[in-house]
Structure 1
Amino acid sequence: MKGQFMKAIYRLLPIAGLFLASQIVFGTLPASAGDLFTVKNVHVDVTADSAATARGLAQAQGQRDALTQLMHRLTLPEDWSKLPPVDDQMAQNAVSGFQVASEKASSTRYIANLIVSFQRGAVRGILSRSGVPFAETQARPALLLPVLEKDGTRILWEDDNPWRKAWNKVDLSGAMKPLIVPLGDIDEMNLVPVDKAVSGDAEALTALAERYGASDTVVALAKASPRDGKTVLDVTATHYGGPAPQETIQRSFEGDTLEDAAAQAAQGMLTSLGIQWKRQIIVRDTRVRELNATARFDNLGEWQKIRHGLGSTPLITGMDVMGITGGAAELRLSFKGEPERLALSLAQQGLALSSDGAASAGPDAGMDGASMTPVAEAGDRGPETRVPEEGGFLTPEEQQTTRRTPMDAMPAPGAGTAPGATSQGTIESGRHWVLKVQP
């Protein structure tokens, strides 16, 4: 008897977790862009009457410069003229902390490289008050293969590749389009020799990217040539793989030496890749929309990944679980922007959102005809609520989960609500969507 009771509890716990997690407050969940609001390699060089004065002035300057860099990171170039000038007060109110990565000081001069972190909410407020649209969703990391062509020879994995060294000195993890430079062990050299990298060998590039958990690869081919006593790098960045095709980026950079040109090119191309991504993800129409989706999952781990992915997507402002079975949940998502941008943003969290082409159904319309059990309303204290397909039961205490008005109880268009909008003033998609973990 005791063993049967424990088995019933064991069966109950996972599905009870699904019900108890039906209402999510997204502001409390961890963000996916862990390094996005941290600016590294902020260089300062200040001279003053004393070392202490120079240090204080340099740190204040570093915070101002870092906030300006961060606002540029999150926004598009055509909007930079609308950004407010950064003064000491604005920077101090937005900073959450800073570190000194390296420093040198004399009696009157202070030189340092700083790492400055900012409060996400404070930066959002600055940009919102300025009316500047911004991005908070980083792209999924891509693998970077820096190929240098000089004097008719192409190199990739060699230790004396200054193009590769330049990328290793840049903050790649905090970019809008994060990049990963592979280690370059013997197996990787054999898997993707330089000719396969330049030709875009799909099988080889995919195999190497999978080693690093990347979905796509960027091959950055830099052709070096002398010009008027300087070195010019003509760079072409080509994407391979990924959820959607990307345009090739071509830019030229000039420096006194090959190393100088490579340093400028690495930072410049990283910025260009970020701008390319921001043009796809930034939402200028910030009206809230709602859509109905069926989340499919094979186990509790997949459901938890779906929940985490939704909570880590800045475009999403709220979620309600309207009904649930052992393998599917009916969701109502509130979000900013268009469904297609939401799908692209969710793809960065490893989730696939697609339209099934059907009109939105009510909360009891489960997948494959399965009956969906609505999540318990607040105050609904029936004796027991059966958990579909699990054989367990929820106690009255476990039923104390609130949700919004069910979809089939929302006011119909024309009943005091504009067509296509809900009673909360949001725009509702007429299609039904399917959400699942990407394979």
Structure 2
Amino acid sequence: MMTTAIPHKNLRKRIAEAGPRAKAAIVMCSFATLALAGFGAARLTAQVEGDRGIPPVANSEDIQVNGIEVDVAGKSGEEARIEGWKQAQKTAWEKLNGPVMSTEAIDAMVTAVVIEREQIGPRRYVARLGVVFDRAKAGQYVGGGEGGGMQSAPMLVLPILYSGGTRQVFEVRTAWQKAWAEFQASGSPVDYVRPTGLGGESLILTAGQPGRRSRLWWRNILDQFNAADVVVPVAKLERQWPGGPVRGTFTARFGPDNEALESFTLTARDDEHLPQMLAQAVVRMDAIYRDALMRGQLVPDPTLMSGSIAFDQALGELRTRLKEREIRTAPPPTAPAPAATITSEPVPAAEIQNVTVQFVSPDAAAVDAALSAVRGAPGVQNALTTSLAIGGTSVMRVSVAGDTAALIAALRSRGWQVAANGNVLRISR
């Protein structure tokens, strides 16, 4: 269809010269054009406004087990509640494959009980609870202590949900993205980079993105989130009937080629139990990605760095040519005078340490200020945000060459208050 633009200065003249029908047509076309322009602007604004995405929780160093169902009777509601908490602690310890221990010993390692849902009756307590264990005390029995181990490169998480015939990521707040945002990833060797989906992120991180194969497009997106590659956990929900069971098919995918690693299915009794099923699915997804990391599959795709490799090769060729030119144009060498032999002792390279830095992030400007301060400190090799919580406490992972005391002194000299606890720093203004 051909579109003709009419200059506004000639519009009045055209209307005056036209007949009655032509006048009406011209006026209607003008109003239609203005309406379409306003509609297009409204649609563009609607794509980036509204409630979209859920910021991920700050990673805790503790060991947490969620989704424990208890149903306990007692002489009173309060007594049943206390007994239910003890039962939940014991069940959580068994889920962690901990050794056989007394109830008192397990209780001494518990730092908190998270109430997901509870009902207290005169003599009965029904609840879904989470139990948080102190890592320093429980880590020696169930693993997950401060020891080293294999760590993945930063992986961008793109949680895709198929439900009701549509697929979504950050277009609206989905239960699947919420489950990933609430996942405590500190105990996982996989370095998950979880976007919030706010602002323009919902325009570039779409459900169609995994279908793209352009390495340049992927490289631009990964650079925005300081990630090396992408993991795509896919959830497909099918409701058997309204208010009935919900069947979920989950597929762990990875990389710019959207490679499927493994699939599994879970079933929730109804929509009320759906969040519990999705939280369980995230834990199983993390186990799949862990296994892939141990097998050497979860490594960044080398083709994502093809542009940098080509640039390095071209730079190397240029240096070689310049050296050859210098040799050809250099004057003939003269016999050098004998010089004393100097033996230099090798200088040991500074040891690289990984430090966790927690900082209060009321807004995006605070995040930028903290990152700039840490990255500008002497000895800092790398600083990446691993958990972003606008309005709360964010976490970054920092690689430092040498002693962390230099990093602490540099931050304090720039006006930051620093509290240190081992390899964990907490900074504030």
- Please give the range of the TM-score, normalised by the shorter of the 2 chains: 0.3 to 0.5
* Structure with larger RCO (C-alpha < 8 A, sep 6+): 1
TM-score (ref. length: structure 2): 0.45
More helix by share: 2
TM-score (ref. length: structure 1): 0.44
The structure with the larger Rg is 2
